[in-house]
Structure 1
Amino acid sequence: MIEGFKFAALEAGQRILAIYEEGFQSVAKGDGSPVTIADQEAEKIVLKYLAEFCADVPVIAEEAMAAGTMPEIGSRFILVDPLDGTREFISRNGEFTVNIALIEDGAPVKGVIYAPVTGELFWAEVGQGAYRAVANGLEYGNVAQINCSVLSEELRVLASRSHRSERTEALLAKLENSSTVAAGSSLKFCRLAEGKADFYPRLEPTMEWDTAAGQAILCAAGGAVVVEGGAPLIYGKLKTPLDKPFANPCFLAVADEKIISHYGLRSGW
């Protein structure tokens, strides 16, 4: 299944790149978030391949959900974000990705993230490690296993480039001996997983398709994604406080769970 995820992400990424180079327009969805033809065409490609190699697994995809299509799910389903970081795509900074993840019993167990502009391809199967490769078209090479770094004297923090609230700024201000870099899309999870950063707090709204593949990769590399109180971020949330299916609560993504206790972040964000 993970090989199918990778191929689907690579092909979708090629179509995204073509649109990126050709030019495009964006429109607002019902929730006010932007969407482009690249989001829509990439999702069609991913769904086509998923229908071929795992037709028995229900798929929750961002643009289909926006159009009102939500299949019934059980304990095992797939989450697709065909273009995570649409705002980054529109601003042309290259920080956008294709995301595909398999959920089992509330946890992401397989995940693929592809960044079309840089060619970076990340994937993981929990229990079998996380990996990074460099893609060229539909092929990839230079495969290397990646691992999170351990807690050091300086905390390397990543914060959202396009979604950053006063609440997040207040939390960042409390972190002693830290440096913060702005970054876009699910690549933030990948930077933690490959040892280039330590901490990513997200106190603004996200959806499950935004985070599932990144969480699978980060956890397989030795990190964690936790909600307030320390429990892991779970998936398949049909009932949420906002009555919005698949909406996530605030969470902290960490390369080393010692960060939570060291900085007193168990609660009270």
Structure 2
Amino acid sequence: MTSFDLTPELAEKVKQIAVQAGKKIMEIYDKDFTIYDKSDSSPLTDADLAAHHHIVDGLKAISPLPILSEESADIPWSTRKTWVRYWLVDPLDGTKEFIKKNGEFTVNIALIEYGVPTFGVVHAPAIDKTYVGQEDVGAYSEVNGTQSPIKAKKHTVGETWKIVGSRSHQSSEINKILDALGGENELVAMGSSLKLCLVASGEAHMYPRVGPTCEWDTGAAHAVAIAAGAKVTVLDVENPMDADASPLRYNQKDSVLNPYFLVSC
């Protein structure tokens, strides 16, 4: 087992790695960029690769922990299942949003310990906003160098439900969840891991995900949500308000695909 202590100084260094990766992304954002095809036919841009290399090199320089990144995800399960602590990275979450140039894309770095995301940085370089969360410490957002604590907000009786939805992926099953809630609801569209951050910051009450995601898509924002007082649980569409739903966990199986999940307070 690797001994590791995430000090405030180290947490700050990880945040700066994410911010610097965002700057590399923005160097490409306003230019014409190359789009490659990955094996799953999703787009991969020069920005993904630039951010990936910066993050991996940066984390290796400050930490002995292994790294799982979307752009180097071919690490076999026989190796990954021995990890109790590791960095989980999505160098550019919301590649489709990046290509559309709507600004809703993020750099994501999470620390996973025993299957739980205990620290996360979500940096949105196009809007220069960063979310940071750490277990037993708390969560904050940062804009122009100013940090503001964030806290998830419970829904109150009679209040309109604010439900976060995907900008690029919608599902008919979302209607089952809205029906189960009852009352008035407002669907707030957003791309990338910013969806989880909206719940973490109290700007929305709930984010039900009923489409495919991988662990690196959610790990960092999941950590922010937990630190802000929210919970992320496995979602049963037929019983979305199940109080006994299991927490979403990481690195528990060969596949890196997440089950459907619910972010709520």
TM-score when normalising by structure 2: 0.87
SS at match of 1:172: helix
Task: Give the CA deviation at 1:70.
Answer: 5.0
Q: Is the 8 A contact 1:64 1:70 kept in 2?
A: no
Superposition pairs for residues 125-140 of structure 1, below 5 Å?
A: 125-135=134-144
Pair 1:201 & 2:205 matched = no
Task: Give the CA deviation at 1:188.
Answer: 0.9
Corresponding residue of 1:266: none
Tell me, in whole angstroms, the C-alpha distance in 1 between the residues paired with 2:41 and 2:179. Answer: 29
Q: From the superposition, tell whether residues 32 and 169 of structure 1 become closer, same or farther in structure 2 (CA, over 3 Å).
A: farther
Pair 1:3 & 2:18 matched = no
Pair 1:149 & 2:153 matched = yes
Tell me, in whole angstroms, the C-alpha distance in 1 between the residues paired with 2:250 and 2:203. Answer: 26
Tell me, in whole angstroms, the C-alpha distance in 2 between the residues paired with 1:231 and 1:238. Answer: 16
Q: Unaligned stretches of 5+ in structure 1? A: 136-140, 240-244, 257-269
SS at match of 1:166: coil
Alignment equivalent of 1:162, drawn from 158, 164, 168: 168
Tell me, in whole angstroms, the C-alpha distance in 1 between the residues paired with 2:48 and 2:176. Answer: 33
Alignment equivalent of 1:249, drawn from 234, 238, 259: 259
Corresponding residue of 1:43: 52
Superposition pairs for residues 32-111 of structure 1, below 5 Å?
A: 32-54=41-63, 56-65=64-73, 68-69=74-75, 72-73=79-80, 74-111=83-120
Task: Give the CA deviation at 1:171.
Answer: 2.8
Letter in 2 for 1:151: H
Letter in 1 for 2:191: G
Pair 1:112 & 2:121 matched = yes
Q: Which moved more, 1:43-52 or 1:29-38?
A: 29-38
Letter in 2 for 1:253: V
Aligned residue-pair number: 242
Tell me, in whole angstroms, the C-alpha distance in 2 between the residues paired with 1:10 and 1:19. Answer: 15
Superposition pairs for residues 208-227 of structure 1, below 5 Å?
A: 208-227=215-234
Tell me, in whole angstroms, the C-alpha distance in 2 between the residues paired with 1:36 and 1:170. Answer: 36
TM-score when normalising by structure 1: 0.86
Tell me, in whole angstroms, the C-alpha distance in 2 between the residues paired with 1:230 and 1:27. Answer: 39
Q: From the superposition, tell whether residues 70 and 3 of structure 1 become closer, same or farther in structure 2 (CA, over 3 Å).
A: farther
SS at match of 1:90: helix
Letter in 2 for 1:230: A
Residue by residue over 1:202-250, the C-alpha shift from the partner in whole angstroms, topping out at 9 and shown as x without a partner, is 01111110001111001110100000351110001333xxxxx211000
Q: Unaligned stretches of 5+ in structure 2? A: 1-9, 236-243
SS at match of 1:123: strand
SS at match of 1:252: strand
Tell me, in whole angstroms, the C-alpha distance in 2 between the residues paired with 1:165 and 1:36. Answer: 26
Q: Is the 8 A contact 1:154 1:179 kept in 2?
A: yes
SS at match of 1:158: strand
Identical aligned pairs, as a percentage? 41
Task: Give the CA deviation at 1:166.
Answer: 2.0
Task: Give the CA deviation at 1:103.
Answer: 0.4
Corresponding residue of 2:250: 235
Q: Which moved more, 1:184-193 or 1:24-33?
A: 24-33
Tell me, in whole angstroms, the C-alpha distance in 2 between the residues paired with 1:189 and 1:5. Answer: 20
